[in-house]
Amino acid sequence: MNKRWTISKINEFVEKNSESKLLTTEYHGFSQKLLFKCSCGSNFEKTFTKFKNNHQRKCDVCQPPKEAR
């Protein structure tokens, strides 16, 4: 069963599972980049899929991207 995400459900997930804050106020689909504020104060953009599934829950300074294989 496919779970339908709303901006309030995403915000709840972000609060429970990371130290980051969600700044985006509208959600239009899985390919949309959302704006987050990292615990260090930097803003960063990620799709919710990457944030949720790949555990990319901090900015690129606090959590550098993994090198390509």
- In the chain the first and final C-alpha atoms are separated, in Å, by 32
Task: Say yes or no to pLDDT of 2 above 70.
Answer: no
Total-model pTM: 0.87
Q: 52, 27 in Cβ contact below 8 A?
A: no
Whole-angstrom CA distances from 23 to 10, 26, 52, 66, 67 are: 11, 9, 16, 24, 27
For residue 35, the 8-state DSSP code is E
- The residue-averaged pLDDT of 19-37 equals 95
Percentage of residues in the chain having pLDDT higher than 70: 97
Q: Which helix (H) or strand (E) holds 12?
A: helix 7-17
Please check the confidence at residue 29 and state whether its pLDDT lies above 70. yes
